[in-house]
Structure 1
Amino acid sequence: MNELIKQVEQWSIDKDLNKGNSHVQHTKMTEEVGEVSAALCRNNIDELRDGIGDVVVTLIILAQQNDMDLYECLNAAYEEIKDRKGKTNADGTFIKESDL
């Protein structure tokens, strides 16, 4: 996974995306999330796989544009949630204890 992330980062550098506008990159990420939604609605597993991958690529580049990396961002999120308490409801949504 680390090697693949480095390859995406290098691809971004080769295309000068690493110096791009983060707002534009966020818009691209949002577009890709929409494609994930469409794939889910169509129950198209191949498009879903591609869409999830595209979202990850856009997030890698967004982090890179802001002098971060995917590991750093994911680690920060995990540190925030790792001890979180709550309940998962019938439809599979986790509800934080503070929101119960």
Structure 2
Amino acid sequence: MNKLINQVEQWAKDKDLHNGNPDRQALKFYEEAGEVAAAMSRGDITALKDGIGDTVVTLIILAMQHGMTLEECLQYAYDEIKGRKGKTINGTFIKEEDL
């Protein structure tokens, strides 16, 4: 995983995307997330795999543009959820305070 992330980071640097406008990168993320939804609605597993991968690429670049790493962001999120209590309802986790 680290090798792939490094390859994406290098690709972004080669394209000068790490210095790009984060607002534009966020829009690219939304575009790719929309492709994930479209693939799911069509039951297209190949397009879903591509969309998930493309979405992760956009997040790696967005993190770079803010001086962060994907690992750092994921660790931050995990640290927030690891002790979270709640209940899974219809396949969705609902935080205890939202029940």
TM normalised by structure 2 equals 0.99
1:28 is matched with 28
| Structure 1: 4+ residue segments shifted above 2 A | none
Corresponding residue pairs, total: 99
1:41 equivalent in alignment to 2:24: no
Residue 84 of structure 1 aligns with which residue?
84
- Aligned-residue sequence identity (percent) comes to 65
Residue 57 of structure 1 corresponds to which residue in structure 2?
57
TM-score w.r.t. length of structure 1: 0.98
In structure 2, stretches of 5+ residues that fail to align are: none
1:99 to partner: Cα distance: 0.8
The equivalent of 2:97 in structure 1 is 98
Distance 1:99 1:12 in 2: 39
Aligned equivalents of 2:56, 2:92: Cα separation in 1: 22
Q: Distance in 1 between matches of 2:96 and 2:4?
A: 36
Amino acid in the other structure paired with 2:76: A
Structure 1's unaligned 5+ residue stretches are none
CA RMSD of aligned residues (A): 0.3
